[in-house]
Every structure is written in structure tokens, then in C-alpha cells.
Structure 1
Amino acid sequence: MKRLQKGLILLIAMILVLGMAASAMADTHGKKAIMIVAKSDFEQTEYKKTRSALDDAGIICAIASTKVGTLKGNKGKRIESSMLLKDVNVADYDAVVFIGGNGIKKVWKNKNAHNIAQEAVKQDKILAAICAAPGILGYAGVLDGKQATAHPKSGARKIMKKNGCDFQNQKVVVDGKIITANGPKAAGKFGETIVEAMN
């Protein structure tokens, strides 16, 4: 009898856990994110872990870059971009996610990237950036008076602070709908935080 009771309790607990997971996924299922990735030398761990968290939550992801076609990661991984930055319509997405790596520094002063970040804020979308990518948000002027972080050796901190950011030495920082993270080791938490914000 005790075994039966334990079995029933375990079964009920499993049903509750699965139910909560399904309900969390239902909140994000069908939502869309645009991932902005450098055409070369993007940080593969950041892309992989962030993408994995979004995919697991049922979020539909698209990739945009400064070129259409094959993008090359810092360890040789190749992914496909289907859209140019200039063609991104922020209204089509629930979240905009900038992936880091050394290659993204070449996008820091890109006007199309700035427009995307500015539109995300105007339209009250989730705006996320990791590693060196928050430098784009700094140049775009969307971090004025906001708390944010970036990779300490990327050079982004200087740009962010110069443009009014309250820089934080933390792995992941959330300020309203702006989510920033400081590098590959924070990528898993970064992805989970984006998913939570999309619920």
C-alpha cells in the first residue's frame, strides 16, 4: 500500500512538473526572435546556447546579418543568414537578440543595426545583446540611464558608459526589456532570461 501511495505521489508530481513546463512553453510557442549575427567570427557558444534555449521554448528564430548566406563562427561553425540587417522589420518579432564575438565589433557603428535596436525599444520589444554586442546598443543610444553589461575585454564598456549606460560587472543584467550578458559562460542564463521575458 505504501509503495502504491509513493507511486501515486510521484506520478502526480511528474504530471504537475510536465504541466508547468507545457504551460511555460505554451506562453512562448509561436513567438518569434530575430538573431543578429556577425558575418564572420561570431561567438559560437553564445549562438548555440542562446539558440538552444529559444528553440526549446518553441520560439521561432530567424538570422540576419550584414550578408545573406553562410556566416562563419570563431571555431569554424557555419550557419545561414536569410536576411540583411536593412531588411529586418522589428514589428515581425517579439525579441531582437544580438550575438557577440569579435566579428560583431565591425557592426558596432552600423546604422541598420542601430535602427533595429532603436525600433525594438520604441516598439517595446525585448532587446538582448551578449559579449561585445552591447557596444551596438551603446552606439544606438538605447542604454542611456540603463543598467547593462558586456564582455570586460571587448571594449564595449567604454562605449556604453560614454553613451550614458550604468555599467554593471555581472553575468546577466536585466533593465526593463533590455537584457545584456558578459560572454560565453553567461550564454545559457542569457538564453533562459530571454525566454522568461517572452513569457
Structure 2
Amino acid sequence: MPKVLAILVDGFEEIEAVTPIDLLRRAGVEVTIATLGDTRTVTGRCGIALQGECSLGDALSREPGGYDCLLLPGGPGVKTLRESTEVIKTVNQQHAAGRLVAAICAAPLVLLEAGILEGRRYTAHGSVVEELPNTLPDEAVVVDGNLVTSRGAGTALQFGLTLAELIVGTDGAQRIAGEIHQMPDKGN
């Protein structure tokens, strides 16, 4: 069974965390929600509290071979993710192993901090364009090798379905899209 590690901290953007986690679990992916520090309950930017399953350290020790994908939601909590040496080390290890690193909204700033965006195609929320001037502003989701980035809360569904496709394949992602009645984009 494919395995994804989602790292949540206070101030995470709820839609950007819950939507891809939900879609991946529907696709049969085991998603571990890890938090930093000793607390398991984290509160999103809109005041919705979620319960993590373990600390980041515990999650990493449970899967010494690594996870198929590392998921980083955006929101004001990105500042905490950027400042965590444990998170930056995890991003670098995941990237060096060639496994998926997925970041949405402001979370590509964590990838910048880890030094893995040089020469890569990516997108991010417009609010971080000063630090990420090479953002592709017209792209909802950008896949460049093992990096997957997305614009923000409004693109979380497409982001989650893209991750599902990369992890379980096109048929699995299309099955999930059908189950949730995702309508095809008509270019409007």
C-alpha cells in the first residue's frame, strides 16, 4: 500500500490539508498525519482543529524506508515548517531519494528553504511571489519530476487528484474523481 506523510502545524490551511488527505485515503493510500513537537492537536488558520496521529520523529521512525510522498499544506503555519530543521532535513531526504515532495500555496517556500527549487518548474500562491519570482502564475498544479506544487485552496482538489494519479495511477484517480462527482473542466 502506498504511503504518504502529511506534516501539519498550527496555522495550516484546512482545505489544502484535508482535501488531498481525503482524496488519497479514498484512493487506498495510507496517509500519516504528523505534527511537530509534543502536541497532536493542531489548529488551522480558520480555527478548525485536527488530530495528528504521531510526531514527525515517530512517523519517520515508523517508515525507515521513507514515504512515497511528503505532503506540505500552506497557510500561516508555513513559517513554522520553514524554521524546522527536522522538516527541512525530511524534505531533503525525500527529494534525494527521488520520492514525491508535494507543496501547495505558500508551502513551496519550504522547498526554497531546503534548496530544491533551483532550475525547477513550480507554482505557488501569489502572496509569496517576492521570494519565489519564478512561480508559474497561470498553472494550478505543476509536476516537475518528483516535485508537485499547487497555487492554493482553490486548487486543492486538482492537487489531490494529481497526487492520487501519481501514486495510484490514472484509473485510481479517475475512479475517485467520479465518486466525488468531479466535473470535467470545460475551459470556462
TM-score, normalised relative to structure 1: 0.76
Check if 1:122 corresponds to 2:92: no
Number of matched residues?
163
Check if 1:51 corresponds to 2:27: no
Percent of matched pairs sharing the same residue? 29
Structure of greater Rg: 1
Name the stretch that deviates more: 72-81 or 53-62. 72-81
Check if 1:111 corresponds to 2:82: no
Query: How far does residue 79 in structure 1 lie from its aligned partner after superposition?
Result: 1.2
3-state SS in 2 of match to 1:93: coil
Query: How far does residue 88 in structure 1 lie from its aligned partner after superposition?
Result: 4.3
CA root-mean-square deviation: 1.6
Query: How far does residue 75 in structure 1 lie from its aligned partner after superposition?
Result: 2.1
1:128 is matched by which residue type in structure 2? A
Residue number in structure 2 paired with 1:75: 46
- In 1, the alpha carbon distance for the partners of 2:99 and 2:54 equals 19
3-state SS in 2 of match to 1:91: coil
Cα separation, partners in 2 of 1:65 and 1:159, compared to 1, 3 Å: farther
Q: 1:172 aligns with which of 132, 141, 147?
A: 141
Q: Runs of 5+ in structure 2 lacking a partner?
A: 169-188
CA distances 1:96-130 after superposition (whole Å, capped 9, x unpaired) = 00011112222213211111111111111111000
Contact 2:40–2:55 under 8 Å retained in 1: no
CA distances 1:114-150 after superposition (whole Å, capped 9, x unpaired) = 1111111111111100011110000100111101111
2:17 is matched by which residue type in structure 1? Y
Higher-helix-fraction structure: 1
Residue number in structure 2 paired with 1:195: 164
- In 1, the alpha carbon distance for the partners of 2:22 and 2:162 equals 13
1:92 is matched by which residue type in structure 2? G
3-state SS in 1 of match to 2:103: strand
CA distances 1:8-37 after superposition (whole Å, capped 9, x unpaired) = xxxxxxxxxxxxxxxxxxxxxx21100011
- In 2, the alpha carbon distance for the partners of 1:146 and 1:91 equals 25
2:100 is matched by which residue type in structure 1? I
3-state SS in 2 of match to 1:159: coil
3-state SS in 1 of match to 2:126: coil
Q: 2:55 aligns with which of 71, 75, 84?
A: 84
- In 2, the alpha carbon distance for the partners of 1:160 and 1:85 equals 26
Contact 1:35–1:61 under 8 Å retained in 2: yes
Q: Runs of 5+ in structure 1 lacking a partner?
A: 1-29
Residue number in structure 1 paired with 2:108: 134
1:158 is matched by which residue type in structure 2? E
